[in-house]
Each structure stands twice: as C-alpha cells, then as structure tokens.
A and B are shown apart, each in its own frame.
Chain A
Amino acid sequence: MDIPYTVEERSDTGLFNAKLGIWLFLASEVMLFGGLFSAYIFLRFGAPDGAFHEWGQELNIPLATLNTLILISSSVTMVMSWASLKLQDIKKYKLYMGLTLLCALGFLVIKYLEYTAKFDHHIFPSTNTFFAIYFTLTGLHGLHIIGGMIVLFYLWIPGRKMWESQPAQFTNRIEIAGLYWHFVDLVWIFLFPVLYLL
C-alpha cells in the first residue's frame, strides 16, 4: 500500500503532501527570522539614538544592490526551470536550473567579498550590536542559500534521472524547491533595506 497523495492532489484539500509540508516549514522559517528581526528591533531601540544608522554606514550599498538583483534573477530562472518541466522541456530545465545555481554562487561570492572587506577593517560580530545582528542575520541567510544550493544541485544533475521514471513527482519536487528558494529570496528582500538602508 503506497502513501496516498505523494504526487496527485487530494481533492478536498487541493494539495499534495509535500506542498503542505513545505508551506509548514516556511511558516516555521518565518517565525525563525521573525524572532531574529524582533531581536533587531529590540536592539535598535536599546542602542543610543542614531547609532544603528551610523554603524550601518560601513556597509557597501552598491554591492548589496547588485546582490539583490542577482537573487531576484535567480528566483526568475527558478520559476522558468519549473515552467520548462511543465512544458516537458528537460533541456531548458537544465539551462535554467544551471543559471539559478550560477546566480546563487554569484551571490555568495559577493557576500564573501563584503565579509572579508569588513574583517579587513577590523569589523567583527563583536564590534557592536549592529554588526552582531548583521553577521548573524546575513550568516544565517547565507546558510539557507548554501542549503538551497545543495538541494538544487542534486535536482540539477544526480536527481534528474527521476524525470524519466516519475516526471510528475519530479516536477513537484522542483516546485517545492522553488517555493523554498523564493522564500530565501524574500528574506533577503527584507534584510537589504533593514540592514543597509535604514
């Protein structure tokens, strides 16, 4: 007896299992980052007037803007890879998934440059509470990018053989991986103004 609704939708809920699972997971992620954002607010209110803004001047806004664009592009290519599978076009899928991974890599490289620039200027998490929360939030976000890349890479090359045997389930996998990827993108969309611009 197989577990029902792994591929097809249950008629009264309109969901397949993994889709509900990933939404629940994302709900918990919202609470995780919500906890950290509330820590940010708490610390900002506790800091001397204007201190957070002043400390934030050290950050490199052009690089972060570029990173925002890269990450948004990766979300677009992620959707395109899923759409390609829906159109039965595995070649296009490979291309778009590859591009998504490339964007993710680009994001990490830029983040690495930002981090090392900070370290060169002797700015560390222990410098002040702004950089404490900056490194924690962006570090945790970076870990989410890396975790996502591992999954996407698996789906790009080794996991792709599932396309031949169970195309519908494989397409579902890309969809839920995509939902996660968009979430990670969305977190950055919040991080960028909160950390760099405010």
Chain B
Amino acid sequence: MSSYTHHDESFYRKYIWSTDHKIIGLQYGFTALFFLLVGFTLMMIMRWQLAYPESPVPLVGSIFWEDGILLPEIYNSLGAMHGTIMIFLGIVPLAVGAFGNYLVPLQIGAPDMAFPKLNAASYWSYFVGGIIMMSSFFTAEGAARSGWTSYPPLSVIEVGQTLWLIGMIFLITSSLLGSINIITTIVQLRAPGMSWMRLPFFVWSQFVTSFLLVLAFPPLEAAAVLQLMDRVAGTSFFLPSGLVVSGEILNVSGGGSPLLWQHLFWFLAHPEVYVLILPAMGIVSEVIANNTRKPLWGYKSLVFAVVFLGFMSFIVWAHHMFITGMGTTMSAFFQTTTMIISIPSVIILSALFISLWGASIRFNTPMLFALAFLPMFGIGGLTGLPLGFAASDIYLHDTYYVIGHFHYVVAPGTIFGLFAGIYYWYPKMTGRQMNKFLGKLHFWPSLIFMNGIFMPMFIQGLAGVSRRLWDGGLEYAHASGVLQWNEFMSISAWLLGLAQLPFIFNVFYSMKFGEKVGKNPWDSTTLEWTAPSPPLPHVNFEKIPEVYREAYEYSVPGRKRDFTPQTVPKKG
C-alpha cells in the first residue's frame, strides 16, 4: 500500500486520525495520564471527608454540593469512579496502550503494528468509553456508586450504573482490539534474527498481558451485558427471588444469583491484576538491565515465570470470594492455586534483585523509580499472602488492609514502573532528556508520601476498619484507636498530589528545553535505540534492522564498549 507511507500529511491525519503506532501510543499516553490525574483528584476530595468528616470540602466543595459537604452518595460515586478511572482509563491504557503501542514494534524491529487502522480504532473506542464514563458525572442520576466491582444486587438497583456498563463495553472493545494487535505484531513482525529468546523482557511482558486481555475481558463483557439486561430489560440474572430492599420485597422476576456476577467479574479482574503489574515489571527489567550495565539475571527463568504466571492467573479468581460461603473444597483449591501463583512473581522479583548484585549502578531518574518499584511491589505482594489464605482472609476481607495491599501493588508498584518508563523512553519519544533535578524532586517526595498514605492502611485494616465507609469508621468503637491516622494519610495524599507538579511541568518543559540527545543516550542494547529519536513517522527505522544477539549484552568481558547492541553482527 503506497498511500500508507507518504509523509506530507495534514495536521489532522498526522496527529488526530493517525494510524502511526507512535502517535497512537502518545495519544494513549496523554489521555491516560490525564485520567490518572482525574482519578487521583477524586481520591484527594474523598480524603478530605475521611480526615475531617462532615466539614465542607475546601476549593471544590462549594462549587458542586450544597454546604460543600461531601454527601454519602457522592462519596460512593467518587469511590466507584476512582477505581474505575484508575484501572480501566488510567493504568491499563498507559501500560498497554501507550507503552505497548509505542515500544513493541520498535523493540522487535517492525515498521508499525500489524493492523494500523485497528490500532486507531482501539484508541478511539477507549476515548469514547472515557467520555461516556466521565459524562455520567453530569447526568441527573450521577455516576455509578456501587464500587468499581459493581456487585449486584446493589449495582442493579442503584442509579448511575447503566452508563458505567455501556462505557465498560467500549473500554473492553478497545482492549480487545489493542491486544489482538500486539500479539499479532509480536508473532508476525519480528525483524530477521529476532528469535523468541532474543526478545527484550518488556516484549514478553506485553505478550502475556495481551493474552490475558484477549481471554479474560470477554467474560466481563458477558457479565456487563447481563447486568445491562437486568437494568434495562427487567431480567433477573443477578437478583434472587424475594429480595427485600428498604423493608419491601423487590418486584422482580427473580431466580438469579449475585454470585454469578462475582464469578464472571473476578474471572476477568484477577488476570486484570497481572495486566496492571506485568507491563511495569517489563519496564523495570529494561531500566535495571540498562542501568546496572549487566545482563538481566536469569532471563529464561523470567520468561518461563511470566508465561506460567499468565496461565495460573486464570484459575485463582475465587480467592476474592472466600466469604461467599462457597465451601471448603473450593476454598482449598483456590488458596492452593493462589499460593502457587505467588511463586513466579517471587522468581521475577528475585531475579531483578539479583541483577543488582555487584553492579555499578547508575542512579538516574528512571533507575530510582525502578529501584523503588522492587521493595514497594514486594510489600504489596507479601501482604497479599494472608489474603490468599481463606482463614486469615475471612478476618481481613473488605478492610483497609486489602486497600493497602493492592495499592502497594499498583500505586508505588505499577505507577512507579510506569514513571520509570516515561523517564527512560522520553528521549526516544522527543529527542530530548527530561530535567534531572525536577525528576528527583518528583521521585523522593512521591516515594515518601506513597508510603505515608498506604502504610497506615495496614494498621487500620488489622484493627478491623472496613473499606468504603463514608465517615472513615467514626461510628465503630473498634476503629477508634486507629482513626487518628486518617488525617495523616489524607495530608500525605495531598502532598503526593503536590509532588506530581514537578513531573507535569517537566513533561512539557523538557519537550522544548530539555537537553538534546542522539539515538542512544543510555548506551542501550535493544532495537528501539538504533532508530532515530524520535523514530521516523510510519516506518520507524531507516532500514529494517537485523538481529544477531540476545537482548542484554552489557559489560561482556574483553569488549571495548560495555554494551553491544542487538544489531552488531557476531564475528566469525
């Protein structure tokens, strides 16, 4: 197709309706970062109510609500939408849509994704899904308020859920198109010589992630369709007979089961956890290999671990449902698989830690974020073990302990990984470095305040404080000993917000004033660094590269330079 490669495109064709994977990656990236900010802002508002219950929210309160007090139903909306926005509109699009799109073709030496038009369709479907989700705030009913998990019967009888479901169907479609594209690209478009075991680990992580998206999302789509039917067609897939709401028997046909939703939902949502974490692990691996100037320790174990992890993630979902009374046999099965799935995660984390051993580490901004990822994800992972055992989960279920656990995985875990990726590949995307001082000004406060928010959640959770309480547990006697932490956590959250300002400024400032760099500012081995910075529109490389080596030939004894790119032919 000759029309595909011509270069003199109009502004709209080039930046808006683009089919170039790099532009689409950036579209995804900026949209997702925007949504991350929105989702975080919702939480900063909620934290006011938790720290100072029933006092007017400053700045925004008087604009939106009478008296400026955050009402319980709005609090529920903000909570549900915080989770939804962060996961489905923020992190997944950033990790898979932006990084996957931008880097996978570059790292395997392809001119573009396998299906460029599908790629654009994927972005726009995401965009429409995002618009629908956001617009639900402005409807008469307001946004969804049944938590991001949308458990029935609440989600079926509560207002605001219909738009959430329609938005989800768009987002699922987007993920589906995107992940089919990524898998096909990796299988079909690898450059000559790029065998499977020469792929950078980041590509492997995207490969497994995409399989999870292809296979795990459709059951949620099915569940969303069923819930939509419950809401608009009067069916009772999730509503049992004789359900009593506010003292009256609900007039529905009945016969359904709320547990059906939980099964279908968690069949997606557990693999989804790995969708969130694997791309970050991939990014961190690249950054660590590059900045330790050593090959990744145990590359093959990493690959097998990540494939095994992907497979196992499909048979652990019911560990979210230990308290539903599904029986000890089922619980025993799912807690066994849950303990097994922690093994590959530990392999990956250990391999990354061992990679640091004996290295002369370069402490630049991406490396700082990557290094912080390791212990932060470690805390998140280890605190998950008590939740994987039915006996201890029954006590901890639905407390702040759970919130602390998964936020350690995704906030200082995944999001730090994504920040590392942004700082690391920014020179490739723009041809300029990000400012180093601002980078450190972003990193250190973020690290401190992240822990300031999430560490006390373990304390509160162990004391038995439930999640999703509008007053933060004020009316419960058992919570009274740990409620003083609420103010501390809230102040940490607001300061964390403040700590993101240097980052936002840095992204735009460095585009114009950052230090100019060449093709390979980090002295890296992988293919994306052999393309110009930024890579050529639509074709990426001046010439499709040939690959002769494994991905991480750093500090090979006896060579002049401490890195050998994958494109350097082997002698003899």
A residues lining the B interface (CB < 8 Å):
1-6, 10, 13, 15-18, 20-21, 24-25, 27-29, 31-36, 38-39, 42-43, 46-47, 124-129, 132-133, 135-136, 140
Contact = CB atoms under 8 A, between A and B. Distances in A.
Contact of A31 (B4, B110, B218, B233): B218
A27 B188 contact: no
A188 B217 CA distance: 22
B235 A132 contact: yes
A10 B234 contact: no
Contact of B219 (A21, A32, A128): A32
A2 B116 CA distance: 11
**Which among B4, B223, B229 has the highest number of chain A CB atoms within 10 Å?**
B229
A31 B264 CA distance: 11
Contact of B222 (A18, A24, A32, A132): A32
Contact of B229 (A15, A29, A125): A125
A39 B236 contact: no
**Which among A20, A42, A132, A133 has the highest number of chain B CB atoms within 10 Å?**
A132
A21 B114 contact: yes
Contacts of A133: 237
B189 A39 contact: no
Interface in B101-119: 110-112, 114-116, 118
Contact of B188 (A5, A47, A128): A5
A27 B210 CA distance: 13
B544 A24 contact: no
B448 to A, nearest CB: 42
A50 B554 CA distance: 68
A35 B236 contact: no
Interface in B190-245: 214-223, 225-226, 229, 233-237
A46 B257 contact: yes
Contacts of A128: 253, 255
A115 B193 CA distance: 57
B260 to A, nearest CB: 5
A25 B237 CA distance: 26
B256 A43 contact: yes
A2 B179 CA distance: 21
Interface in B315-337: none
A43 B110 CA distance: 47
Contacts of B469: none
B222 A43 contact: no
A132 B180 CA distance: 31
Interface string B172-192: 000010011101100111000
Interface residues of B, number: 49
A125 B218 contact: no
A132 B188 contact: no
Interface string B1-33: 100110000000000000000000000000000
B440 interface: no
B112 A3 contact: yes
Contacts of B225: 36, 136, 140
Contacts of B267: 35
Contacts of B516: none
Contact of B184 (A1, A24, A42, A127): A24
Nearest to B235: A132
B20 to A, nearest CB: 12
Contact of A17 (B179, B184, B215): B184
**Which among A27, A125, A127, A135 has the highest number of chain B CB atoms within 10 Å?**
A125
B189 A42 contact: no
Contacts of B455: none
A2 B235 contact: no
B233 A129 contact: no
**Which among B5, B181, B218, B233 has the highest number of chain A CB atoms within 10 Å?**
B218
B294 to A, nearest CB: 31
B539 interface: yes
B467 interface: no
B255 A129 contact: yes
A1 B255 CA distance: 59
A69 to B, nearest CB: 28
A38 B260 CA distance: 9
B263 interface: yes
A35 B264 contact: yes
Interface in B237-286: 237, 252-253, 255-257, 260, 263-264, 267
A136 B236 CA distance: 12
A175 B27 CA distance: 33
A17 B260 CA distance: 37
B324 to A, nearest CB: 13
Contact of B255 (A17, A46, A136): A46
Given A2-B5, A128-B255, A39 B183 contact: no
Contact of B114 (A3, A38, A127): A3
14 contacts: A2-B4, A3-B116, A15-B188, A21-B115, A21-B184, A28-B218, A31-B219, A38-B264, A39-B226, A125-B233, A129-B256, A132-B235, A132-B237, A136-B229
A129 B260 contact: no
B234 A126 contact: yes
B544 A39 contact: no
A28 B1 contact: no
A10 B188 contact: yes
A43 to B, nearest CB: 7
A129 B236 contact: yes
Nearest to B544: A1
**Which among B4, B5, B257 has the highest number of chain A CB atoms within 10 Å?**
B257
B21 to A, nearest CB: 10
A66 B512 CA distance: 68
**Which among B111, B116, B180 has the highest number of chain A CB atoms within 10 Å?**
B180
Given A4-B188, A17-B115, 6 more contacts: A1-B544, A28-B218, A42-B260, A42-B263, A47-B255, A126-B234
A25 B233 CA distance: 28
A2 B184 CA distance: 16
Given A1-B544, A2-B5, A17 B114 contact: yes
A36 B214 contact: no
A39 B184 contact: no
Contacts of B1: 2, 6
